[in-house]
Structure 1
Amino acid sequence: KCFEEFFLHKFRSTLSKSNIFGRGEHVLIAYSGGPSSTALLHLIADGLSVNARRRLQFQAHVAFIDESSLYPADSINIREKVIDLITNQLHYPLHIVSIDENLDNDNSLKDLLFQHTKSLTAREEFIRRRKLKLLFDIAIREKCTKLITGDNCTKLAAQILSDMAQGKGAHVALECVRIIYIYLE
């Protein structure tokens, strides 16, 4: 109990002191259903709650990219669980987008992946970039000025090593940022 209270206090304190988020600002939280993004969502929910001493002042929106077309066996009932958690328990606006959205009707993303990418690394990079593009589209549509992802250190380290192995070492600093600023025109 002590650790949890201290951790929540540190999280709220760090965000409020940094002045990253303005009062009433719309912020998009990327939610994958995994443990890291679930922990992030609960930290933010606690920080936005009325009972919090140092209450966060932004408006949270949650985005979920539905990957059931890529991994049908792994995604049984995950959509319903996400809807229940976000809308019924936390009461945040939820934006669900299929990873196949805005593609030609003739091609599914799965078909495109197997036709045009030769390696597993290329497929993973394509899916990662596709998800990020969809998140940007949602953020712009909902007038969110920031995007928060719930990546953990292991995923971040793997991404950095992968980028360096592919000759993208100049982008390491950009990969380390977990709050992405979106400039609306």
Structure 2
Amino acid sequence: MRRLALRTLRDESLFGRGDRVLVACSGGPDSTALLHVLVMLRREIGHEVIGHGVDHGLRPEARGELALVAELAEKLGVPFEVTRVDVEPGGNLQARAREARHRALQDAAVRRGATVIATGHTADDKAETVLLRLLRGAGPRGLAVLEPRAPSPVSPSGADSPRDLVRPLIRARRADVLSHLERHALVFARDPSNLDPRFTRVRVRRELIPLLTELSPRIIEHLCALADMLGDVCPSEDPMGGLGRAQRGAIERAQKKGMRTVKIRMKGGRELDVTFPAGKIVLNEKK
């Protein structure tokens, strides 16, 4: 896995000598392996590593999971901090927790002078996300998911520019992660929500992927290759990138009717005002 991460870092120019990398750590297997691998690669790349965890206050186990990361970070000689955020129970809980986590990481990156934020996404995560987007009717650009380097979905709380997200493990399989953890005797936590079939991603991971693997043993590689190809042919500046079919349809119909603006609802309950200045499509988040 170390070689896979090094090749991805170099091929994609994710960061270089002198850069400070903030690693998003939850205590789970992926982020634990990521922290360890990036520390191992410091001599070759010449970067700095700092760790950061976010406690959403939704699970009492999270405090202990982050304590595992803090212990590992101390052994590795890596600074580590935790941000605690308040996410109230209710609708769209996962989406709101994700947004709060991203903003906390952005604020931490600004405060600590980090140039990028590294997350532990793997090839399995990428394949699962492609399938989830297909189930939701995403268009071609919406299937170009989890690129090695991508802009942040949120901005920091202040006026600073958002830090890009980088994914050094995006070419590694989940099995590679587990092998790395076992080889180096690294302790990690398991989030019970990853086994909860109420979440669509869990059913995709535990039911759909195994079925597709029976039909095509290399389905993970095929889905990742599809996402990469679509990322190459669909411009990332596509203003409707990542929107679902219904949202894109509403925008296209409004544009054809000559409407000046149309409102669309995003996942998580956010609303966007879409305008059409000089024939262009501009998405504006409602405050």
Normalising by the residue count of structure 2, what TM-score does the alignment of the two structures yield? 0.47
Identity of aligned residues (%): 26
Map 1:11-160 to 2 at 5 A: 11-48=5-42, 50=43, 55-67=44-56, 69-72=57-60, 74-75=61-62, 77-86=64-73, 88-100=74-86, 109=87, 112-114=88-90, 117=91, 122-160=92-130
Work out the CA distance in 1 between the residues paired with 2:129 and 2:85: 20
> What is the DSSP-based 3-state SS (H/G/I as helix, E as strand, rest coil) of the residue aligned with 1:24?
coil
Report Cα offsets for 1:155-185 as digits up to 9, x if no partner: 3334344445445544433x31243457955
Q: Provide the alpha-carbon RMSD of the alignment.
A: 2.6
Give runs of aligned pairs for residues 163-182 of structure 1, distance below 5 A.
163-166=133-136, 169=139, 170-173=141-144, 175-180=145-150
Larger relative contact order (CA 8 Å, sep ≥ 6): 1
Q: Give the deviation of 1:23 after TM superposition.
A: 1.6
Q: Is the CA contact 1:47–1:56 (under 8 Å) kept in the aligned structure 2?
A: yes
Q: How many residues align?
A: 154
* Rg larger for: 2
Q: 2:28, 2:65 within 8 Å by CA — same for their partners in 1?
A: no
Change in CA separation of 1:171 and 1:135 when aligned onto 2, cut-off 3 Å: farther
Residues 1:179 and 1:30: Cα distance change in structure 2 (over 3 Å)? farther
